Structure formats: structure tokens, C-alpha cells
Structure 1
Amino acid sequence: MSGWTGRTAADIAEAVRRGEVTPRQVVADHLERIRRLDGRVNAFRAVLGEEALAAADALAAHPGLADLPLAGVPVAVKDNVAVAGHAVRNGSAASPAAPAAADHEAVRRLRAAGAVVVGLTHVPELCVFGTTDGDHGITRNPRRPDRSAGGSSGGSAAAVAAGFAPLALAADGMGSIRIPAAACGLLGLKPGQGAVPAGLGPNDWYGMAVNGPLATTAADLRLAFRALAGGPDPAAPAAPPAGPLRIAVSTRSPFPGVPVGRGWAAAARDSGRLLAGAGHRVEAAHPPYPAWLPAAVLARWTAGTAADAAACDPARLAPRTRRHAAVGRLAARTPLLRTDHRALLRERLRPFFDRHDVLLTPALAGPVPAARAWSRRGWTANLLTNTRFSPFTPAWNLAGWPALAVPAGSRADGLPYAVQLVAPPGGEEVLLRLAAELEEARPWPRTAPLD
């Protein structure tokens, strides 16, 4: 790392507010790192370059610069979120090429907080799967380039893990923030439904898809979340909930028959012990996941893709995407989408969360797949692979509850472990508090050593 790359968002913003560095210098340092190293990672579909430098210069003249919580902080944006003047390609040559007329509200809020958008990051076609590859090539994991960066926010996670930007805007419909966060050794927050502006497609995958941040520290994640939520002043000191929390640790897969790797289960139990050491009341307990959960999330995942695909040229979609959308059109004709499974799931989980404030699980059930052209493989192979390594994330998209991925040590081969924290609606600050406590108890390497 050199110059201002490798610094936290909080450190950069403080230095810019104090006049120790200009926004242009910060942005220029990150653009130079992208230029040198992204050929090895393939995080970005488009690097904004001169546009980002011009935005940095405009920011330097902002009359309220000294009060901006993200002053001069470079941010990468997932390429399914509108950035004014650029097409939202959503990982597909079949998507409309017309440039967006305005920023998405989430992007607007980040810019209003002082952030500078440096580029648009790669996603798998229509953000469907948990690996990031396609016509744009393969987005690689900066921790282990022979492994995928995860998905669908793989480009955003790779950009942060590689030190190309300290923050990234991502989106999560089935785990698409938490999966790549876990794969790349980052923190990733899926906010609860309504906490952050969504608007990611015709129906946001039937309400399962939301925007959220990726970061390397809990403090940075809190800054980004507060800016996106438009809530309390993100620059103000955090006031996390006080007192011990009741934490349930579960290593049981929500999807029957999907095994959980021994190391991933151990990472969850070890994290529980750390939180117990911090004064929380921790016990092993398993949520009562309903037997219909896999069918309910599959129906919304596929039918949401079918709605997104309706705006695309079908002849240019990859075969696995066409198959996924076709399954979704069939699902839309069944009672699965006419049943309020969100309400049913929340009601089923209510007694469990009456007894526990937070659920802690492994973030994944196994390591992220190899970096290969998964987009050229069949639909069934992709479906089975995604289900086997990531059964823990989709339930919380269906419930619409906040969930957060946190690094939890490393395997012998250098790939990270990670855990998932879940809370009922409104629990984002509770999760951020626990993430900070885990960070203090077991620090992790913030960025990959690419230099």
C-alpha cells in the first residue's frame, strides 16, 4: 500500500476534513492502485477516472466539507445500482445500454456524505449467482486468486479487499453482500427491509433484495450504513446498545441435507466464546426453520430474475440465466408467490427471538468455489454449488431482517472463515456493536497483500 490507499474510511475522512490531504490526492492514489493491480483481480467494469477526479475537485470546494462524514472517501458501486451518466449493465450484454439519468438514492446519499465514486464493479449476469464471472471474465478473490470473490457483489468485495476503495456499495437478495464479504475477509451488512433505499429491479426479487455496505472495519461499516440510512449524524460517536445480549449460536443448516464444514462450524463456536468473554450470554440454540423455506426462497429468487430478464434481449442471455428465469415464470404460477411467507417466517421465528437478541451462525457452509467460468456451466450445477456453500444467508432475505458477515479467522490455505450475525428488524446497530467487539477480540488483515 502507498499514499492514501490502505487507510480506513474514517481516517481518510478525518484527514480531508482537517485539510491534511485533498480529496483529489486521495482519489488519485486509489485510481493509481486500480490501474496497477485490477488486471489481477478484475473488480471493475468501469473505472471513472477523470470523472472521479473532477468530483473530488468539486468536493474540495464544498462549503460544508469540514462536516461531511465521508469527506473524500473513494467508494466502489455495484453495477446494478444507477450512477448518473452510466448504463446499469447488471453483468449482462443483454441489458439496456442507455445511461442512467440520475443517481440511485443510495448513491446520492453517499455522495451527499462526501464520498467519491471511483468505479462500477462486476456482477454475475442479473446478479443471480454466488460467483462473479461472465462475458467480462472472472472476478478473482484478492486473498486467493484461484478462488472466486463470491457473488453477486463479487466485484465490490474484491475492490475493497484489494485496497481499491475502503468502502463499496453492494446489494443482497440471497446473500449477495454476505457471501463475498465472507469469501474476501470483509464485513458486509445486509440491512433490514426499508432501512436503506432499495429499488434494484421491478420487484426487488419480491422484497428480498436490499442495498448495503462492504468495509474492512466495523467503524467504517457503521459510517457507511448511517450515510445510506440517512439517520443519525454518521460523524457522531457511536452509541451502541448497552448491557449484555442474549446470543444463540447455531451451526445447523437452514436447508435440510446441506452439510456444514467442520472449520466453519468451529469458527461460529469460537466467535460465540469470544462474545461470551465480552460479557454476553451465549448458548447453543437452533432456530425453527420451516420445511418450506427452500421452496419459498427459490420461488422468489427465480421469479425475481424472470422479472429482471423481461427488460433484456433474451437471445443474449446466458443459458443458465434463461433457465433460471424460465423456472421463475413457472414459480409465478404456483401458490408459492401468493403466500406471505415473510409473515409466516417472522411468526415462526418470533418465540426464538423472544428468548435471544441475536443469532450467530457460520456465514458459509464451505469455501467459496474455484475461480472459473461458472457462467458457462449448466443451471443445475450452479444451483447445487450455490446451495452447498451458502445455505445460511437466504432465510434472512425472506424474513427481511438485518444480517452481517464478520471475518472469523483463516484456513491454513489463507482463505478466511466468517460468521453471520442476525437480529430482528431495527437491529443493525446491535449487529455493528457485536462486529466491533469481535474485531477487537480477534483482529483480521484488512486488505490482501497484492503489492
Structure 2
Amino acid sequence: MDNLATTWVGATAKQISRAVRRGDTTATQVVADHLEQIAISDPAIAAFRVVRAGEAIAEAEKVDDQEDLGNLPLAGVPVAVKENTPVAGLPTWHGSAAARSAVAEEDHEVVRRLRGAGAVVVGVTRMPEMGLWATTDGVEEPTRNPWALERTPGGSSGGSAAAVAAGLVPIAQGNDGLGSVRIPAACCGLVGLKPGRDVIPCDLGLDGWFGLTENGVLATTVADAALGFSVMAGRAPVKLVQPGRLRVGVSLRSPVAGVRPDQPNREAVATASKLLVGVGHDTVTADPPYSTAVGLAGLATWFACAYREADAAGLDVRSLQPRTRRHVALGKFVWRRGWVRQQQRDAWREKSIRFFADSGIDVLLTPALATAPPPADGHAGGSWRRNMQVNMAYAPYAAPWNIAGLPAIVVPVGLRPDGLPLAVQLVGPPDSEVLLLEIAGQLEVANPWPRHAFV
């Protein structure tokens, strides 16, 4: 922590907003502190595509000029926004210059809500090309994991996760189409919430990847995740309480055949299970009804997302990375043959909801990852086949719950023997976002985690 710029770097969003509202500090001071920390640390991490230094200070001054800060739950809180989410006055990069769209004339609705709550957007964070991959790197440089610079922070919201884990912002927006908030949260030791369908406005790209994509939040504490979720969902701040006795299903089964979690990830689930029993819940073995048909439908949908987004944006496919070109080509193939159907996704959603009812469980506990985060380098220029192998081998647990449209959260549970974070995933039925946050809060109290890896 020798490189900390000031005491406000590393503070939680709740601590910052409370201090600004009380007049103990100013939004301008808080934002200046974080911009200084970004200048110190981001050259090693490459979390940000663009830092809005001058604009952020000007916006912080406007927050300070408001007469009544009492109704601003994020007063003066620096936030980062993923680069596929329109921010007025900036291009929307989508992970590469080849996929970049024009300068946005207005903010995306979630950005508008963050700013309306008093938050200050200090910059937009990097993602892999078109958000397709679970590693965040481009042809220029990879984004690095603050816990181990040679490792990836995950993807596709890898820049947002790296920024929060390094203390460059207390919370960040991300979005999750097949795990893109939860995978980086697990890689970087953060709380990462993907809400269920239609809880937070999405409206990204053509149709949000057939409705699979949801905007979510990355934070170092459950309280901050709840605060960010409340603001983006347009709700009053969530008040978390102790949930009653729950029945928790526990599963190590991977959705991808032949992939098994390594020993540290199995131990993470065992640790979380014991902690949940310790706070009064019951645990039972309950494996979701994954099937080859669901897996193939998920793959075809992933491919088709790439093709349809590229086609709708009029992208020159030849300018894209080799791995992305192959993904787009496969997407064109499966889409034109009618292999991607809404009925498949609807059937899995219904089956997933029945799984909770039939098994009698309130929530499901799974690993967040199967292995350690892979190396940071070499993916953007690598082959499609190699990228697919890496993605599916280390991060198989997230995607089914996007297809089902169910809420899910990743929660840290400690560190691997190599010092990288460990995490678990909790999944719930529709409208269980607050319950998932409450259970995550119980895990946090019972087993606090290191909040930052300062660089």
C-alpha cells in the first residue's frame, strides 16, 4: 500500500458518499485523489481505455455546488464504466478500434442513473473485442490482474474489475452476457452481481445478446454492491437483513463435459458451505440439470451473438482479431441455418426455475471458476481454438444462468495457495437479487476477505 495517494483511495463507496454528504470532504477532493492513484497504478494494469480527468473534476465540482446532497446515495463516488456502455462525449469502443462506434450523444440509462445519484465517471474501462472472451486483452496491451500482473483479470468486464481491485475506483459498472461480471469478480477477489432479467436496463447492441446480457456491479464489499445495484435498478437503497433459515443446494458439477474444478476451487465451495451452515442454513447436494443440448444451444447462441452484432454494426470483419473473425463466421453459419432459437432458451429457463422448486432449495452454491485465472498475454492474437479451450476450461460455471435469465452473484472466500483470489457463485430463482446479497453479506461477516491488491 506504499503507492496510495491519500486516505480516500481504498475507502468504500458508502464511506465516501457519507463523508461528502456530511461535508467531511468534497467530491472534488475524492475524485482528485482517485485520479492521482490512476496515474500511479494504471500504467501497470491498463484497466482504463480513457480517463476523463478534466471532465471528472468539473463534474465533481458540480456535485459540490449542489445545495442538498442528502438525496445522493453515491455523492462524490468515483465510478468506472465498461467501454461498451455509452458515455456522452466518448466513442463506444466495444473492445477494439475495429469495433468502435461513434461518439455517444447521450449517456446510457445506467450511466445516467449513476450520475443522478451523485457518482462521477472517471473513465471507461477495457474489455476484449466485442465482449466475446473471458480474458481482457487487445493488440496493444493486455489488462492485468492487480493480484498478479502476469494473470488476466478475466473478461469481459476485466478492466472494471481490475480498476476496483486496484483501488482506482470503489465500484464499477460492468455487464454480463455469459459471465462477464462474475468471471472478472472471481479473478480479482470482488463481489460481482448479475441481476436477473429486466431488473436493470440493458439496451446494449442489437438486443443485448438475445436478452442474455445484464448490467451489473463490481465492488469490494457487499454493502457497496447493494448500493450500486439499487442505483442502477432505480430503487431506494437496499436494506440488507439477516435471511431466515435457507436450504442451500451445493454442486461441483460443471456445465462443460470433461471440465472439473481444481482442488482450491473445490475447497472454496467446501469452505462456503461450512460457513453457511455455521450461520444457520442447511446444505444439500443438488446438481443442476445441465445437458449436452443446453451446452450446444449455448455455444450456438454465443457464436450467433458475434455475427449479428458485427452485421448490425456494419463492421469490416477483416479488421477484427483472428479469434473474433472465426467466431463471427461460425455465428453466420448457425444463424442462417436456424440453429439458434428462442424456444431453446425459454425451455432452459423453465427447467432451471423448476430445478429450484423440485429440489426444494432456495439458492445454489457452485464454484465461480474451475482453475486459476490464465495468463494475461497472448489471447488477442491467438487462434480461435486456443481461446475457446482457455475460456471453457477455466470459467464454465457462469453461462447457464444468463441463458436462464436468473440472478447470480460471485463472492470471495479467500486466496489460492499461489495468492490469487478464490470465490464461489450463488444462484437464485427470479427476483432473488436482494436475498443473494444478504447471503453474501453473511459470508463477508463470517469470513472477511482482503479488499484490494494495490499496485
Normalising by structure 2, we get a TM-score of: 0.96
Structure 1 residues 239 and 132, CA, compared in 2 at 3 Å: closer, same or farther? closer
Per-residue deviation at 1:347? 2.4
1:424 maps to which residue? 429
Residue 388 of structure 1, aligned match among 393, 397, 402: 393
Listed one character per residue, the Cα deviations across residues 110-131 of structure 1 (whole Å, up to 9, x for unaligned) are: 1111110000001111111000
Secondary structure (helix, strand or coil) at the match of 1:7 reads coil
Listed one character per residue, the Cα deviations across residues 186-243 of structure 1 (whole Å, up to 9, x for unaligned) are: 0100111100011121021111111100000000000000000002x22x6x144731
Residue 194 of structure 2, aligned match among 186, 190, 194: 190
Q: Does 1:436 align with 2:446?
A: no
Greater mean deviation of Cα atoms: 91-100 or 390-399: 91-100
1:401-412 correspondence to structure 2 within 5 Å: 401-412=406-417
1:356-371 correspondence to structure 2 within 5 Å: 356-371=361-376
Q: Is the 8 A contact 2:255 2:396 kept in 1?
A: yes
1:268 maps to which residue? 269
1:317 maps to which residue? 320
Distance 2:132 2:140 in 1: 15
Q: Is the 8 A contact 2:165 2:454 kept in 1?
A: no
Residue 21 of structure 1, aligned match among 5, 25, 40: 25
Structure 1 residues 336 and 356, CA, compared in 2 at 3 Å: closer, same or farther? farther
Q: Does 1:205 align with 2:206?
A: no
Distance 2:348 2:65 in 1: 50
Greater mean deviation of Cα atoms: 338-347 or 440-449: 338-347
Per-residue deviation at 1:290? 2.5
Q: Is the 8 A contact 1:134 1:373 kept in 2?
A: no
Residue 330 of structure 1, aligned match among 325, 329, 333: 333
1:145-294 correspondence to structure 2 within 5 Å: 145-231=149-235, 233-234=236-237, 238-240=239-241, 242-294=243-295
2:419 maps to which residue? 414
Per-residue deviation at 1:175? 0.5
Greater mean deviation of Cα atoms: 260-269 or 336-345: 336-345
1:348 maps to which residue? 351
Structure 1 residues 63 and 309, CA, compared in 2 at 3 Å: closer, same or farther? same
Q: Does 1:113 align with 2:114?
A: no
Greater mean deviation of Cα atoms: 160-169 or 86-95: 86-95
Q: Is the 8 A contact 1:245 1:357 kept in 2?
A: yes
Give every structure 1 segment of 4 or more consecutive aligned residues whose post-TM-superposition deviation is greater than 3 Å: 239-242
2:46 maps to which residue? 42
2:144 maps to which residue? 140
Normalising by structure 1, we get a TM-score of: 0.97
Q: Is the 8 A contact 2:47 2:125 kept in 1?
A: yes
Secondary structure (helix, strand or coil) at the match of 2:121 reads strand
Distance 1:343 1:96 in 2: 32
Greater mean deviation of Cα atoms: 64-73 or 14-23: 64-73
Per-residue deviation at 1:93? 1.2
Cα root mean square deviation, aligned: 1.2
Q: Is the 8 A contact 2:242 2:442 kept in 1?
A: no
* Residue type of the alignment partner of 2:165: A
Distance 2:192 2:240 in 1: 20
Structure 1 residues 96 and 411, CA, compared in 2 at 3 Å: closer, same or farther? closer
Distance 1:380 1:398 in 2: 23
* Residue type of the alignment partner of 1:384: Q
Greater mean deviation of Cα atoms: 371-380 or 26-35: 371-380
Q: Is the 8 A contact 1:290 1:345 kept in 2?
A: no
* Residue type of the alignment partner of 1:368: P
Q: Does 1:64 align with 2:68?
A: yes
Q: Is the 8 A contact 1:306 1:329 kept in 2?
A: yes
Distance 2:411 2:41 in 1: 25
Greater mean deviation of Cα atoms: 315-324 or 99-108: 315-324
Q: Is the 8 A contact 1:342 1:400 kept in 2?
A: no
Listed one character per residue, the Cα deviations across residues 16-69 of structure 1 (whole Å, up to 9, x for unaligned) are: 000000000000000000001101101000000000000000111123312210
Distance 1:98 1:367 in 2: 37
Per-residue deviation at 1:255? 1.6
1:376 maps to which residue? 381
1:77 maps to which residue? 81
Distance 1:296 1:248 in 2: 25
Per-residue deviation at 1:333? 2.5
Runs of 5+ unmatched residues, structure 1: none
* Residue type of the alignment partner of 2:264: G
Distance 1:339 1:3 in 2: 50
Secondary structure (helix, strand or coil) at the match of 1:336 reads coil
Residue 452 of structure 2, aligned match among 423, 437, 447: 447
Q: Is the 8 A contact 1:91 1:122 kept in 2?
A: yes
Distance 2:369 2:156 in 1: 14
Runs of 5+ unmatched residues, structure 2: none
Per-residue deviation at 1:293? 1.6
Distance 1:272 1:114 in 2: 38
